[in-house]
Amino acid sequence: MHDLTGSTWPPIGVSVSPRRNEAGPILLPPIDHHRIVVHTSRKTWSICLAAGTRHLRQEGDIDLVPAGEEGGYEAETACEALEIRLAPAVLQRVAHEMGRGDRQSRFETRHILRNESIVHLARALDSEQQAGAPSGSLYADTIGIALATQLVSLSKTTIDRRGGLSSEQLRRLFDFVEAHIDQSLTIEVLAREAGASSSHLRHWFKQATGTTVHRYVVQRRVERARFLLLQERLSAGEVALAAGFSHQSHMARWMRLVLGYTPRRLRGEQ
């Protein structure tokens, strides 16, 4: 057991800042500290500035931005968050003390992560700061070490996980597919949404659902196309694009494979 708060440790260098952001672009320019951003608003729809995809951020969702990298997104409504800054040396030292080595001290960009321990620590640090830091620097240092410990363990979970996808990850994936059915849903995009590697998602999604990621997306596209065709408000070409197919014949081919009939026959049966 290592004493991580012993006298050999320098000041941790952890801080927290409550942020209120108006609707519009929220930019996080590169700095020399890691950033842990905990969303504190109930619900905020946002658009990823890099990928252009739309996400629902909820209270307790976490974004991780490594030192030296920029982050941010465009919020559709005003929102609030706690921004924690942690020195990279702390993460490296904690990984070393935990016997994890350099591999586990890497801080990777993550979006809409769920971790109740990190949220609890962030709120504790904010409460201490709002009260004027009555417990002194040792309290903040201890929280900084606890945060670093969570991040090191999170890194290990990302690399070595064998427990499959959680119900929360699956729910987020299902919601994301429905909200972005008309967009490109590559395995890389979906893996980023789930907070998993592409290979991990491929394997464990099939274990959880009995079908592949690609097949699931196609089935949802076909069902959306069927629903829109039955409404008779859009042309077949417009329905194909709204359901995420590249063109009308692409939609027809998959509807025939999945449902056993074509869009023309579906509309002809009404």
Per-residue confidence (pLDDT) for residue 163, from 0 to 100: 55
What is the band of 237 on the pLDDT scale with cuts at 50, 70, 90?
very high
Per-residue confidence (pLDDT) for residue 9, from 0 to 100: 44
On whether the pTM is more than 0.95, the answer is: no
Own/partner long-range contacts of 201-209 (Cβ < 8 Å, ≥24 apart): 201/165, 204/164, 204/165, 205/165, 205/170, 205/173, 207/164, 208/164, 208/165, 208/170, 209/170
Cβ(97)–Cβ(50) below 8 Å: no
Using the structure block, give the residue that is written with the tokens 């909820």: 58
Q: 268: buried, middle or exposed (CB in 10 Å: 19+, 13-18, 0-12)?
A: exposed
What are the pLDDT digits (tens) for 154-210? 754 443 344 578 877 888 888 889 899 999 999 988 988 887 888 888 888 888 888
Distance CA 112, CA 123 (A): 17
Say which residues have a Cβ less than 8 Å from residue 61's Cβ, sequence separation at least 6: 38, 39, 112, 113, 114
pLDDT at 236 > cutoff 80 = yes
Pairing mode of beta strands 110-113, 62-65: antiparallel
Using the structure block, give the residue that is written with the tokens 């997306």: 217
What SS3 class is residue 138? helix
Distance CA 37, CA 35 (A): 6
Query: How is the beta sheet containing 79-86 ordered, strand by strand?
Result: 14-21, 79-86, 34-39, 62-65, 110-113
Per-residue confidence (pLDDT) for residue 52, from 0 to 100: 65
Domains in the chain: ranges and CATH: 14-160 (2.60.120.280), 167-268 (1.10.10.60)
Length of the chain: 270
Stretch 234-243: mean pLDDT: 93
Cβ(161)–Cβ(200) below 8 Å: yes
Best-predicted range by mean pLDDT (51-65, 174-188, 256-270): 174-188
Per-residue confidence (pLDDT) for residue 158, from 0 to 100: 43
Cα R_g (the chain), whole angstroms = 23
Per-residue confidence (pLDDT) for residue 81, from 0 to 100: 96
